[in-house]
Amino acid sequence: MQTEPGVRRPQRADARRNFDALIVAARDAFAEHGTTASLEEIARRAGVGIGTLYRNFPTRQDLFDAVYLGELDALCRAAEDVAGLEPWDALAAWLRRFVGYVATKRAIYEEINRDSEMVRGAREAMYAAFEPLLARAQESGAARRDVSTDDLLRLVSGLTAGGYVDDAQRERVLTVALDGVRAR
């Protein structure tokens, strides 16, 4: 899956580091301040000048898209990373990573074109990465067979919509939800 829609990750090592630092800084800034986060602040956090930001991301939309797709790409890779775990552990680990993805997506949700080919392709890639984990957990008897990929992703997405006192509370709520998915 292509990580950046209208921009390409640079080939030179120093330019790649700057690009990656801008993505991380933008993700964090958008999570903290929403889509109105200052581009100058993002450049400062990344340790680069504003010109470097604009060379990599000519428009604010390019930056939104790159952050969104970068998070989705990491989420898809996470499915591969956990595939070697026991079926239930792999499912739960990926869903915990999904919570982080949803938080980033919510931060820039209004700014991404949800009807675009890019977003449709991203959704398809996410489902394709997760479906084998759920199927494996169901086949092993660890997860309920009456739960679909869509059901489970909507459940966890909904859980992330609420505000939590702290990360520990969010983890407890996710654990309660996952207990409902476990086969009895």
Confidence class for position 6, pLDDT limits 50, 70, 90: low
Q: What is the 3-state secondary structure (H, E, C) of the chain?
A: CCCCCCCCCCCCHHHHHHHHHHHHHHHHHHHHHHHHCCHHHHHHHHCCCHHHHHHHCCCHHHHHHHHHHHHHHHHHHHHHHHCCCCHHHHHHHHHHHHHHHHHHHHHHHHHCCCCCHHHHHHHHHHHHHHHHHHHHHHHCCCECCCCCHHHHHHHHHHHHHCCCCCHHHHHHHHHHHHHHHECC
Q: What is the pLDDT of residue 63?
A: 92
Residue with the two structure tokens 């999904």: 98
Q: What is the pLDDT of residue 4?
A: 42
Residue with the two structure tokens 């390019």: 62
Average pLDDT of the segment spanning 10-37 = 89
**Above pLDDT 70, what percent of the chain?**
94
Average pLDDT of the segment spanning 144-171 = 88
Q: What is the pLDDT of residue 3?
A: 40
0.75 exceeded by the pTM? yes
- C-alpha 177: how far from its chain's center? 20
